[in-house]
Amino acid sequence: MTTKKDMKQGWMSRRDLAKLLGIGGAAIAAGLPEKVFAQTRRNTLVIGIDISDCVTLDPARQAQYSTPMSLLAAYDMLVTMSPGDYITIRPSLATSWARTPDGKGWRFTLRENVKFASGNVMTAEDVKWSMERVLRLGDQTSQYISHVERTEVVDAKTVDIILKDPTQPLLTIIAAPGFPVYDRKVVEAQGGDASMDAKTKDKATTWLNENSAGTGAYRITRWERNQQIQFVRNDNHWRGKPPFERIIIRHIGDSAAQLLSIRRGDIDIAFNLIPEQVSTIKADPNLRLEALTSLDFVYMALTENPEFNKALAVKEARQAIGQAIDYDGIIKNLLGGAAVRCANFLPIGVSGSTEAIAKEVGYSQNLDKAKQLLQKAGLADGFEFDIAYGNAAIAGVTYQTLAQKIQADLARVNIRAKLTPMDQVNLRTTFTGNRAQGGVLTFWNPPAVENLLWAAASVERVARRVHWKVTPDVLKLVRDAAAETDAKKQADLWVEYQKRVVDQANYFILFQPIYQVAARSHLGKLPLTAAGWMLDMHDVKPASA
């Protein structure tokens, strides 16, 4: 155990280092001398967060909630967004961009002398190969850029991305961590493939789950599911030397454990505190809170497949569920007021979605109306259905607590909800495999800040998960809204889209969290973002930096 004398001399015990690294770090610590310099801790940033949803660290294959934060630490994209500004596209690996001469795509001028963590120099061929790998792997990320026709190398520092439909957005989409520039040589050496047969030939994901091949500020060196993700500094980073030698993301699913850890100094940042714990932070001089209204939301999806549940196949029965939920109680009592709520799949803060529109268009609790809808559905005595959810927490609230609240709300109109907790991975497999038997409590975080991605998902792949056969006029409405260049007309189209989806009653938005993140006072202001990756780790710095 480290003594006061040891600490004065700059030493840290092997036991204390193991505690810092978490369960999976014990083996690492065991191989070190009994004492290491305490400087190790000062040069290490430790983040506590629930990462139970993380199933891969391959950017082209990820579709989870917590993972993008890790990916942004290890990779860069051609363009990016600054925290708090979700409209302006900023330079990253591309210094400038413009429409191609024929107007069919975008031309990017690449930043010169950028090196990957391996030391290899980034080239236009790396950019082309990276875009092609994402497209040809055919995972969820590829769907966001399905309108990309091809990528062309113009010259050593210029790349064109040609679109099938030039009216559809691109820049906002490829600013997300799912579209990095890979170190082609390194990934190919690990079985990476970007050919037309990449879906079957690519074998790089296993390696990319424990390593990274990007230009980002840090390099992934270890991932242990439900335990930790470790990073080391990328000394080749083009923005300059990052402030920390190491970063450790520790999986801490329990909010009380996060609170204890940040108070003791075992972690520097805590993401999943509940309201009661947040209030105690304010009295601790070593800690502070930072808040950010997210673009994420938690929602319940309902199947309408009569083979799974005959009652849910009736729209009025689903609408009755929407009218029975106490949304205000969820936000006030479970989240301490630290949330807003959008009408449907467009979060408040984007085109066509405001709190006023949400109140006008979205559901609110009305038990009398819920009972009337049940009578109209021929279900005056109510019905039963399952609600599946993951054994995890989001915005400091466990899905189980949320499910129990909804169960109690629905019971007031004799709708009987049977709760079915599941491992996060099993839940995702069931939901994305279109096999959810009733309701599913889950999250949505932006793959990129682009209305089309939210809306298109709701009427395409998520619609398939709930067995909603979307009519052509709704699909056209979404595409027309995305292509509209007049801001007022576009907002009106997005409002109309929300009205249609609310009426369909397959999705009920429960809350859009205002994140309250605890940080130790030795850190400077956190670069929190609502853009889908929560935190830009490159810009997390000591307060004195």
Instruction: List the chain domain ranges.
Output: 48-253+521-535, 297-515
In the prediction, which pLDDT does 16 show?
Answer: 52
446 confidence band (pLDDT: 50, 70, 90): confident
Give the CATH H-level superfamily of domain 297-515.
Dipeptide-binding Protein; Domain 3 (3.10.105.10)
Q: State the average pLDDT over residues 215-220.
A: 98
Is residue 248 predicted with pLDDT exceeding 90?
A: yes
Share of the chain above pLDDT 70, in %: 92
- Summarize the chain as % helix, strand, coil (round to 5): 35, 25, 40
Q: State the average pLDDT over residues 36-56.
A: 80
Residue-wise pLDDT tens digits, 388-429: 999 988 888 899 999 999 999 999 999 999 999 999 889 999
Same fold, 48-253+521-535 and 297-515: no
In the prediction, which pLDDT does 40 show?
Answer: 53
In the prediction, which pLDDT does 33 show?
Answer: 43
Higher pLDDT, 10 or 461: 461
The one-character DSSP state at 122 is P
In the prediction, which pLDDT does 39 show?
Answer: 46
64 confidence band (pLDDT: 50, 70, 90): confident
User: Looking at the DSSP assignment, which residues form a beta bridge with residue 233?
Assistant: 218
Q: State the average pLDDT over residues 258-267.
A: 95
Is residue 17 predicted with pLDDT exceeding 80?
A: no
In the prediction, which pLDDT does 447 show?
Answer: 78
The Cα-based distances of 332 to 159, 269, 339, 443 in angstroms read 50, 25, 8, 19
Second-level CATH architecture of 48-253+521-535 = 3-Layer(aba) Sandwich (3.40)
Residue-wise pLDDT tens digits, 95-142: 999 999 999 999 999 999 999 999 999 999 999 999 999 999 999 899
Q: State the average pLDDT over residues 180-187.
A: 98
Instruction: Look up residue 460 and give its two tokens.
Output: 């395409």
Higher pLDDT, 127 or 28: 127
H-helix or E-strand containing 400? helix 399-411
**Euclidean distance between CA atoms 420 and 285, whole angstroms:** 41
- Where residue 84 falls (left for φ over 0; alpha for ψ -120 to 50; beta otherwise) is left
- Among 273-277, 350-354, 366-370, name the one with the lowest average pLDDT: 273-277
Which residues are CB-contacts of 429 (< 8 A; sequence separation ≥ 6)? none
Enter the pTM of the model.
Answer: 0.77
In the prediction, which pLDDT does 41 show?
Answer: 63
Q: State the average pLDDT over residues 237-258.
A: 95
- Helix 367-376 vs helix 315-324: angle between axes, to the nearest 10 degrees? 170
In the prediction, which pLDDT does 283 show?
Answer: 87
Closest CA relative to residue 457, chosen from 346, 534, 357: 346
Q: State the average pLDDT over residues 33-39.
A: 42
Contact indicator for 73, 231 with CB cutoff of 8 Å:
yes
Q: State the average pLDDT over residues 356-361.
A: 96
The one-character DSSP state at 370 is H
The answer to whether the Cα torsion of 491, 63, 91, 105 is positive or negative is negative
- Among 15-29, 133-147, 195-209, 458-472, name the one with the lowest average pLDDT: 15-29
In the prediction, which pLDDT does 465 show?
Answer: 97
2 confidence band (pLDDT: 50, 70, 90): very low
The one-character DSSP state at 415 is E
User: Looking at the DSSP assignment, which residues form a beta bridge with residue 441?
Assistant: 300
Is residue 27 predicted with pLDDT exceeding 50?
A: no
23 confidence band (pLDDT: 50, 70, 90): very low
Mean pLDDT estimate for the chain: 91
Is residue 35 predicted with pLDDT exceeding 90?
A: no
Share of the chain above pLDDT 90, in %: 80
- Please, which contacts does 287-291 make with residues 24 or more away whose CB atoms are closer than 8 Å? 287/262, 287/263, 287/518, 287/519, 287/520, 287/521, 288/518, 288/519, 288/521, 289/516, 289/517, 289/518, 289/519, 290/516, 290/517, 290/519, 290/525, 290/526, 290/528, 291/338, 291/514, 291/515, 291/516, 291/517
Is residue 12 predicted with pLDDT exceeding 60?
A: no
